[in-house]
Amino acid sequence: MDIEKILAEMTREEKAALVSGTDFTYTNPIPRLGVPSLCMADGPHGLRKQTGTGDNGVSRSEPATSFPTASCTASGWNPDNLRKMGEAIAEECRHYGVHVLLGPGLNIKRGPLCGRNFEYFSEDPLLAGVMGAAMTEGIQSRGVGATLKHFAMNNSENYRFMGNSVAGENTIRSIYLRPFEYAVRHASPSAVMCAYNRINGTYCSENRWLLTDILREEWNFSGIVMSDWGAVRDRVAGLKAGMDLEMPGDTAICRRRILDSLTDGSLAVEELDKACRGILRWIEKYRTDGDGAPVDWDAHHRLAGDIAADCAVLLKNDGVLPLAQNEKLYITGPLYEEMRYQGSGSSMISPARLTSPKDAFEFHGIRESSLDECDKVLVFCGLTDEYESEGCDREHMRMPEDQIRLIDEMCGTGKKVILVLFGGSPVELPFFDRVSGILNMYLPGQNGGSAVYDLLYGFKNPSGKLAETWPLRYEDFPACRTFGKGVCEVYSEGTEVGYRYYGKHGVPVRFPFGYGLSYTTFEHSGWTKDGDSYLQTVRNTGDRFGAEVVQLYLEGELRGFEKVYLMPGEEASVRITPDERDGTAYPDGYDVPEDSPSYPVTLESRMTDLGRSFIGRILLGAMLSVAKKQERDALKMPEGSERQNALKGALFLKRILESNSPRSLSMSAGKSLPYNFACGFVEMANGHLLKGLRCLTSKITVPKLPKEE
């Protein structure tokens, strides 16, 4: 592809189309000049390739392998897991004709209640960066592009579409940008996706300091910057800031503004050409004709189970694990048969196969005993989709009340109780002293049941270490009173995120960062320094094969780590060279803006704010009725994973509609909710019916797309 020749022959209309997506997950082709389109699809822990064309919701997608989520894989502290997982996902992308995967997610887990924490790796920027870079390498080794997201400071869900993340530059750089910087410098991702939110008042999609000064000029990023779906506010400002591609596109208002700005001179052709040139290079590099490549689905299913087993964290064991084959077990809990293996939202996958704990136990001939006759009680419990989902933050850190009552009841029998936990985030454990064992699986993917069986019965040895601190209670989190409570999110704790805060201030925690038990024991020598590196010897002093994670902390921060696998009596010498740190002293002050009123509503208001007026409630109800219909339809489906995913999709849609803004909803809905309709709804919700009607009837006209010519 002769990019400069194509660029010289493109019309302004074609250029305006090229920097905008189409049909929800594609770039716009330019047939006249032989420019094909690229296909993108959601990750990050598997492929969500929608069936059909356009947006048909999150629950209808091609069968693919649902791998463990980031909250699980980070607990493995083994980047090779992420490389293998990335390679496998990329193979499935090639099978379905997907050229770019929208993942991995590298946002920091600032607090335990973020509804999307299951998609993110860690509270620590180094661990998150290493894992993200490894997954990027794996994806791109198979000729598929990877996309780092959500850049940056997308750390909560309640107000993510219009929220303002307020923090000092030192905090932003040393905590929230570091995972992205590590992955950019070490893995050269094909793309970076900018987040919905603002940073100190400026939307990420038009933040030149973020997208150009830091990402391109400081970090030498050479890929393309795309918007999150609907994250564009001012398209022309975005182009000037370095945001190349608007997704999902098909927004007449954005193309209209580009063309008008070219005409009046407020946008230089050279600025538009810069974005077009990057997109053309991107298409040339990742557009392949390898659609339909074969996939070994059985091998990917086994890989998902192996990774889940390597990442599970044994939180407590009073000698009750591993189980013996002849032990009599009473098995209960809602997640035994319907294991929660993935989160809800845009990353939801239609699993190619699904092995629950019940499936695995029955396959291996494990028979359940009655409560009166059992030796031990297994309770399969944790967070359900109603408690944890993209689109909203959790209301508290507790488990569902019915599960707490069940655990209390089982503890009251006098039997030894073992919990198998599922969920994407920490939970409070008021019953901790009364149970004998806790195996935390996080969200282990479609083969989590096999991993559970292998771990409980000792065929595999738990070796995961927590990638986040588990507080005793939510009130111990320093920003507990303000997190997710309003549009303006002030990061008042600065760099004291996660273990940095709890350790510095001596706050007791349930489990510290980096914690995890094993069925064997390890002996560590002290650290010795050798030049720029640190050396330590680790020995397996137990009687089982196992793995240990060597963690190097300097001045209270994780600076390096390595996971070693050792036979009984075996030892390994580990050398860790601390990651390089930016020694520049950046200021950490910030101005706290006043909260904007919730009424009258604007294009940037939360959709629930429309409910403050009579007309607004009617409009909001009409939109939410779409989610209610999806729920009714899902309830009519037969039992199974498809029904579960359909119910999750309906719940997610409701939450997304409630937390969206009229502007962002319009930008993500394309032709089904034009920008003038969003303006009209805002006017009508504010009681300006005539103005609203004028907006509704004022169609935005643009030339046909190149593919329509």
- The alpha carbon of residue 527 and the mean position of all alpha carbons in its chain are separated, in whole angstroms, by 35
What pLDDT score does 597 carry?
Answer: 83
What pLDDT score does 211 carry?
Answer: 98
DSSP 578: P
What pLDDT score does 293 carry?
Answer: 85
Give the model confidence (pLDDT) of 404-421 as tens digits.
999 999 999 999 999 999
- For the domain spanning 3-286, the CATH number is 3.20.20.300
Mean pLDDT in residue range 678-694: 97
Please choose, from the candidates 251, 315, 242, 253, the residue with its C-alpha nearest in 3D space to the C-alpha of residue 279.
242
Q: Where are the alpha helices (DSSP H) in 103-230?
A: 125-140, 169-171, 178-187, 208
Give the model confidence (pLDDT) of 69-113 as tens digits.
999 999 999 999 999 999 999 999 999 999 999 999 999 999 999
Is the confidence at residue 613, as pLDDT, over 80?
Answer: yes
What pLDDT score does 624 carry?
Answer: 95
DSSP string, 35-65: B---BEEE-SSS-B-BSSSS---TT-B-EE-
CB 95 within 8 A of CB 294: yes
Mean pLDDT in residue range 57-64: 87
What pLDDT score does 463 carry?
Answer: 98
Query: How much is the mean pLDDT over the chain?
Result: 96
What pLDDT score does 290 carry?
Answer: 64
The boundaries of every CATH 3.20.20.300 domain in the chain are 3-286
Is the confidence at residue 56, as pLDDT, over 90?
Answer: no
Mean pLDDT in residue range 128-142: 98
- Report angle CA 65, 67, 71 to the nearest 5 degrees: 160
Give the model confidence (pLDDT) of 630-658 as tens digits.
999 999 999 888 888 889 889 999 999 99
Mean pLDDT in residue range 673-697: 97
Residue 139: Cβ within 10 Å count: 32
Q: Which one of the listed residues 228, 244, 250, 476 is annotated catalytic? A: 228
Task: Establish whether 80 is a catalytic residue.
Answer: no
689's tokens: 């019916």
Is the confidence at residue 173, as pLDDT, over 90?
Answer: yes
Which of 53-62, 275-284, 430-439, 663-672 bottoms out in mean pLDDT, i.e. has the lowest? 53-62
Is the confidence at residue 57, as pLDDT, over 80?
Answer: no
Give the model confidence (pLDDT) of 253-295 as tens digits.
999 999 999 999 999 999 999 999 999 999 999 998 767 889 9
How close are the terminal C-alpha atoms of the chain, in Å? 22
pLDDT band at 22 (very low <50, low <70, confident <90, very high): very high
For the chain, give the percent of residues with pLDDT over 90.
Answer: 94
3 state SS of 549: strand
In Å, what is the CA distance from 299 to each residue of 48, 141, 335, 635?
19, 18, 25, 33
For the chain, give the percent of residues with pLDDT over 70.
Answer: 100
Distance CA 4, CA 586 (A): 40
Residue 261: Cβ within 10 Å count: 20
Mean pLDDT in residue range 221-231: 98
CB 667 within 8 A of CB 251: yes
CB 178 within 8 A of CB 134: no
The H or E element spanning position 406 is helix 401-411
Is the confidence at residue 298, as pLDDT, over 80?
Answer: yes
Residue 158: Cβ within 10 Å count: 24
Q: Mind spelling out the 3-state secondary structure of 210-246?
A: HHHHHHHHHCCCCCEEEECCCCCCCHHHHHHHCCCEE
- The alpha carbon of residue 90 and the mean position of all alpha carbons in its chain are separated, in whole angstroms, by 17
